[in-house]
């Protein structure tokens, strides 16, 4: 675990250095709010009640990030944020009940801009770890490859047709480079392609060697009517999102693209750990009793 934590330390420094070089504003996490990310899979929300008001514990920094960019002059923001998700699925080797997410959002960016930004970040982080953590990688028996850019891009509907529901794991096991899967039908805030309704301008980044999903994100909906219609279609109650909807109604929500990646999943991949709990201190594993 000492070697794992040293690699995590180097990776986080490389992430912060990269963000600073790119002029990305570092914001602090939001831990509690009236709403949190609805996500596209069912997760029990963690809640607390303070003076009669029900507050949700953060599952991700969506949809706070576009609100922040609408208020600040910054071209881009990021945070390293704790997230709590009472995941229902057990035994995945890549889910924790509590994890940390590097959550990024860029103003006026298209999905290609964001994807390129992330590819550069990955190369920068992997190169730093490979160069400065030789001893630790050797101790862990990990031969780490710095991927070549641009990463391959696959369309989800085509992968589903070819490989069925387990497409992500199958393709992840096939190659040795990170790759993108685009066009997922999911949360109301990921932008639908106006030129091709029923398609979505979003993406997942996937680690090779069977490690699976690294990051999810997309271009975001920012127009009031479209957000309302997307909420209705995905069965999301608009009431808790009143503040977001008011900003959108005033035409003040700016177009953005963004995404988030899990720190523990990145450290798991960098170190070649069998399970995510081998890359986290005090891991809380879905389906298992919490020890500490």
Residue ranges binding ligand AMP (CB under 6 A): 39, 60, 85, 87, 95-96, 99, 101, 213-216, 260-262, 264-265
Cα(115)–Cα(112) distance, integer angstroms: 5
Cα(98)–Cα(283) distance, integer angstroms: 8
Q: E-strand spans in 185-240?
A: 202-207, 212-219
| Least distance (Å) between residue 95 CB and Mg ion | 11
Name which of 87 and 136 has its Cβ closer to ligand AMP.
87
Question: Which window, 10-18, 167-175, 208-216, 236-244, contacts Mg ion (CB under 5 A)?
Answer: 208-216
Name which of 60 and 172 has its Cβ closer to ligand AMP.
60
3-state class (DSSP) for residue 80: strand
Q: E strand or H helix at 44, and its extent?
A: strand 43-44
Name which of 206 and 248 has its Cβ closer to ligand AMP.
206
Region for residue 181 given its phi and psi (left: phi exceeds 0; alpha: psi -120 to 50; beta: otherwise): beta
| Least distance (Å) between residue 186 CB and Mg ion | 8
| Least distance (Å) between residue 94 CB and ligand AMP | 6
Q: Residue 32 binds which one of ligand AMP, Mg ion, none, with CB within 5 to 8 A depending on kind?
A: none
Strands 47-50 and 43-44 come out as unpaired
Among 216, 256, 257, 271, binds Mg ion (CB under 5 A): 216
Residue nearest to ligand AMP (CB): 262
R_g (Cα) of the chain, nearest Å: 19
- Please give the structure tokens belonging to residue 42: 């069912």
Name which of 153 and 252 has its Cβ closer to ligand AMP.
153
Which residue ranges make up the site for Mg ion (CB under 5 A)? 216
């Amino acid at each position: 675990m000492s070697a794992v934590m040293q690699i995590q330390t180097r990776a986080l420094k490389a992430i912060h250095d990269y963000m600073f070089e790119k002029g990305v504003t570092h914001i602090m996490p939001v831990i509690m709010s009236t709403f949190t990310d609805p996500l596209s899979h069912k997760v029990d929300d963690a809640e607390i009640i303070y003076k009669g008001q029900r507050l949700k514990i953060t599952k991700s920094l969506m949809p706070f990030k576009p609100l922040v960019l609408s208020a600040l002059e910054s071209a881009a923001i990021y945070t390293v944020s704790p997230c709590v998700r009472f995941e229902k699925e057990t035994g995945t080797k890549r889910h924790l009940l509590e994890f940390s997410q590097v959550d990024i959002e860029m103003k006026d960016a298209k999905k290609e801009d964001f994807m390129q930004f992330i590819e550069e970040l990955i190369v920068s982080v992997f190169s730093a770890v490979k160069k400065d953590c030789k001893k630790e990688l050797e101790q862990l028996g990990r031969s780490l490859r710095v991927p070549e850019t641009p990463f391959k891009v696959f369309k989800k509907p085509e992968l589903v047709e070819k490989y069925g529901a387990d497409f992500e794991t199958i393709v992840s096991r096939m190659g040795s480079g990170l790759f993108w899967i685009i066009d997922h039908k999911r949360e109301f805030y990921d932008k639908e392609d106006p030129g091709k309704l029923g398609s979505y301008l979003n993406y997942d980044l996937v680690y090779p060697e069977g490690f699976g999903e690294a990051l999810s994100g997309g271009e975001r909906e920012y127009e009031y009517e479209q957000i309302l219609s997307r909420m209705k279609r995905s069965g999301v109650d608009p009431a808790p999102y009143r503040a977001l909807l008011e900003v959108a109604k005033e035409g003040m929500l700016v177009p953005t693209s963004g995404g988030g990646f899990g720190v523990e999943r990145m450290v798991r991949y960098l170190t070649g750990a069998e399970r995510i709990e081998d890359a986290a201190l005090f891991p809380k594993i879905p389906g298992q009793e919490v020890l500490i």
